[in-house]
Amino acid sequence: MKADFVSTPAADSQHGSTPALIEKEIIGSGERRLSGKCRRVLEAFLGSCVGVTLCDPERELGGMIHFLLPEPISPTMSLYASRYASTGLPKFLDDLVRAGARKEHLRACVAGGALVGEVSAFDLNLDIGGRTSAVVERILSEQQIPIARMETGGFFTCKMSLDLSNFKTSIEPVMDQDFARAERTEPRPFELDRDFPDLMRHLKPIPQVALKILRMIDDQNCRFADIADQVKQDQTISAKVLHICNSTFFGRGRKVDSIERALTVLGERNLIKFIVSAFLERFLFSTAGGYSICKGGLYYHALATAQLGERLARLTGVSRPDLAYTGGLLHDIGKVALDQFVAASRPLFYRQVISRRRSAVEVEQELIGIDHTVLGAMIGDSWGFPDSLREVVLHHHAPERARHQQPLVRLIHLADLIMARFAPGYELERIDSTDLDRRLQALGLAPDRLREVVDQVPSGTTDLV
């Protein structure tokens, strides 16, 4: 069982880039981090979630915690204390004091709790972010810890940073200011006849063996032995799968050194997830940064949507969990292709999305002439995606248009929407959720179960595969 006290690897030092002098570490939802003085900056991207920094500068101790919900939805959730303000904040305080901080020296900063995206009366009623902030304020007041800065509510995603070299916290809006100031640069329109063949030549291809596995998953009768044989033929992927197994689930001394051993420990379904994710990392990680504000953002967004989709499939029973996982992983595949177009005109793109409150799909159509759902489906067609995946890719922003796999598409739509609100740093999507209650009901979920849905959001990046 994983502890909830986890930290992500430094975003800037992943995947072989030169280590930065000041290391940045992203604190994902449900994670907390405590540290002494050092040259590192902790960062959290906060939409509806609430982030808190607590520091004792005299003792040179401080940290950050990132809450998803005000309180656990059931007592059994206490294993993941950091996800909830009511359980995580007392634990975090306790950790600080045990590490040597003096309670009377502690100063707090609080941020997040926004209503990101279009807001419905249903959202205002439920007000998850507002209630999480209220629990944080109550606990800090009971513990007589002053709040040096509090920026909660509003309608925008913000970035909260804690500089551990001086224990100063900064809170800034993620998109609106930078993008409003920047110059207007028109993107080059996508010309289908010229750009699509060019794109397919230059796009890092998904290996044939990965496509074969995706089709096997779509086919209910797939045999794991066939998949395992395919994986063993690709040494890089075998190594990657074993690395993920060893680093994610198991402590030292219980090394998983073969696909057979991984199968025994994880079971078929989990191992297939690891395999598909490992294949797609190579493809999804290779973006220029048009759709994301952190390195690898699209890949993490894909993994998180996959993980949440799979959990929601189990919760609702409307779709096979393994199909929901692969659907979540691939839903935004068109963004990998459009990323370079968006990156070239990011300020203009996001000014349209944010200040004019329009969906990314509409803005893509207007500025580039094609959107990521249509382009994604074209890529899927040329690679021979199974029909279920094609429908997810094409209709995940308008699930009512799906003809054959509507429950699956609705599920991925909901997972995407929830991730856009509760893990907004990985991908800058803005999804209309004015009729969120109707979207829940279409999956057989009563509107008051939204908190239960949010509770399925994976914690940080370590909970993603």
The gap from C-alpha 64 to its chain's centroid, in whole angstroms, comes to 18
Buried b (16+ CB within 10 A) or exposed e, 329-346: bbbbbbbbbbbbbbbbbb
Nearer to Fe ion, 159 or 372 (CB): 372
Nearer to Fe ion, 187 or 424 (CB): 424
Minimum CB–partner distance for residue 271 and Fe ion (Å): 25
Minimum CB–partner distance for residue 61 and Fe ion (Å): 38
In DSSP notation, 179-198 reads HHHS---PPPPP-HHHHHHH
SS3 427: coil
Minimum CB–partner distance for residue 426 and Fe ion (Å): 9
CA angle 312, 332, 118 (to 5 degrees): 70
- CA atoms of 131 and 401, how far apart (whole Å): 35
CA atoms within 13 A on the CB side of 304: 29
Minimum CB–partner distance for residue 301 and Fe ion (Å): 6
Nearer to Fe ion, 60 or 362 (CB): 362
Nearer to Fe ion, 56 or 332 (CB): 332
* CA quadruple 332, 338, 339, 345: dihedral sign: negative
Minimum CB–partner distance for residue 205 and Fe ion (Å): 21
SS3 301: helix
Neighbours of 120 (CB within 10 A): 17
Nearer to Fe ion, 259 or 284 (CB): 284
Tokens 């072989």, residue?
16
Over the window 408 to 437, marking each residue x when it contacts Fe ion by CB under 5 A and - when it does not, the resulting string is: --------x---------------------
Task: Answer yes or no whether residue 43 interacts with Fe ion by CB under 5 A.
Answer: no
Minimum CB–partner distance for residue 352 and Fe ion (Å): 16
Q: Packing angle between helix 224-232 and helix 268-284, nearest 10 degrees?
A: 40
Nearer to Fe ion, 45 or 84 (CB): 45
Give, as ranges, the residues between 316 and 375 that touch Fe ion (CB under 5 A).
Answer: 332
Nearer to Fe ion, 46 or 336 (CB): 336
Number of residues that bind Fe ion (CB under 5 A): 2
Q: Any residues with CB less than 8 A from the CB of 166 and at least 6 apart, and which?
A: 57
Nearer to Fe ion, 332 or 339 (CB): 332
Minimum CB–partner distance for residue 430 and Fe ion (Å): 10
Minimum CB–partner distance for residue 116 and Fe ion (Å): 14
- Helices within 356-464 (DSSP H only): 360-368, 372-383, 387-395, 406-422, 436-442, 450-454
- CA atoms of 29 and 49, how far apart (whole Å): 7
Nearer to Fe ion, 159 or 395 (CB): 395
Give, as ranges, the residues between 80 and 109 that touch Fe ion (CB under 5 A).
Answer: none
Q: Any residues with CB less than 8 A from the CB of 244 and at least 6 apart, and which?
A: 274, 277, 278, 465
Minimum CB–partner distance for residue 310 and Fe ion (Å): 15
User: Which residues of this chain interact with Fe ion, rule CB under 5 A?
Assistant: 332, 416
